[in-house]
Structure 1
Amino acid sequence: MLIGSILQAKGTSVATVPPDATVTELLATLAKLNIGAVVVSEDGVTIAGIVSERDIVRRLHERGADILTQPVSSIMTSEVRTCGPDANVDELRRTMTNHRVRHVPVVRDGRLAGIVSIGDVVKVAIEELETEKDALVGYLRR
């Protein structure tokens, strides 16, 4: 299955914050949208970085509560792993596992086109296993 199929099902909306937003503003966005990561983008199209809940917790532990008033750019991951809509879900699952990332922005023609989470990838794997199981059970009942 291709990443584009996941985006067709879940949509292409991506939460973004500008690099100069404060970490407190970032936390409000995460809480309001009930999500685990946001793409850092100046214009909602290009990717400057990504920030996850884990990033916030780690920086809070390292630097203390002062990070809450600092810009998101001071805690974001600037080397963002991305994929295209034509990427294979199995390949992305391996990448996410090997590099310990849970959110991967999808880029089409240099523009932000969606985001895929580890939950989306696991859901596809479960659906494929259920389809396989049903086929095997059907075969055995013949």
Structure 2
Amino acid sequence: MTPFIAKLIERSCVTTHADCPLDDLIVVLAERRIGTVVVVDRDHQVIGIVSERDIIRHLSNGGTTADTLTKNIMTSKVITVENNVTSAQLMQLMTEHRIRHVPITRDGKLVGIVSIGDVVKRLLEKYEQEAELIKQFINS
């Protein structure tokens, strides 16, 4: 496991259950200032993911938040990664599938989540480190 992934796993990952009312889920997104919540079962297995895009799609198709459950709008075919993934692999996966959040699993159970912002930040850190090493080499 890379230090990058280890750091992501240390922070909390907001989850919900499939029968959570959509109104409650929206409150969680707003209060936590996040764009995605992972849907897990009792064994902490990933069974879905709900993003702001899913909610907007539901509303734009005439749906309402009243009496709607998370399972009715969640994306069920979730792309996940194991905890040995690299930032370069994540960038490729997110770009290829046009997704902004990927749950991290270990032995099939949710252990964290990575966002496109996390990946961009990590890549910028790597470029800054490389630039500094090049400067040091040139000045030596």
Compute the TM-score of the two structures, normalised by the length of structure 1. Answer: 0.90
Asked if the contact 1:44–1:112 (Cα under 8 Å) also holds between the matched residues in 2, the reply is no
What is aligned with 1:88? Answer: 86
Asked if the contact 2:5–2:84 (Cα under 8 Å) also holds between the matched residues in 1, the reply is no
Work out the CA distance in 2 between the residues paired with 1:49 and 1:58: 16
In 2 relative to 1, CA 5–63 (structure 1 residues): closer, same or farther, beyond 3 Å? farther
- Cα deviation for residue 137 of structure 1 reads 1.2
Identity, % of aligned positions: 39
- Cα deviation for residue 106 of structure 1 reads 0.6
Asked if the contact 1:38–1:51 (Cα under 8 Å) also holds between the matched residues in 2, the reply is yes
Work out the CA distance in 2 between the residues paired with 1:43 and 1:5: 29
Compute the TM-score of the two structures, normalised by the length of structure 2. Answer: 0.92
What is aligned with 1:60? Answer: 59
The Cα RMSD (Å) is: 1.5
State whether structure 2 residue 35 is matched by structure 1 residue 36.
yes
What is aligned with 1:117? Answer: 115
- Secondary structure of 2:26's partner? helix
Counterpart code for 1:78: S
Aligned residues: 139
- Secondary structure of 1:67's partner? coil
- Cα deviation for residue 44 of structure 1 reads 6.4
Listed as ranges, the gaps of 5+ residues in structure 2 are none
Work out the CA distance in 2 between the residues paired with 1:24 and 1:84: 31
Report the more deviating stretch, 100-109 or 44-53.
Answer: 44-53
Listed as ranges, the gaps of 5+ residues in structure 1 are none
Q: How does 1:1-142 map to 2 (within 5 A)?
A: 4-10=2-8, 11-43=10-42, 45-64=44-63, 66-142=64-140
- Cα deviation for residue 24 of structure 1 reads 0.8
Asked if the contact 2:5–2:85 (Cα under 8 Å) also holds between the matched residues in 1, the reply is no
Asked if the contact 1:82–1:105 (Cα under 8 Å) also holds between the matched residues in 2, the reply is yes
Asked if the contact 1:22–1:72 (Cα under 8 Å) also holds between the matched residues in 2, the reply is yes
Work out the CA distance in 2 between the residues paired with 1:18 and 1:95: 26
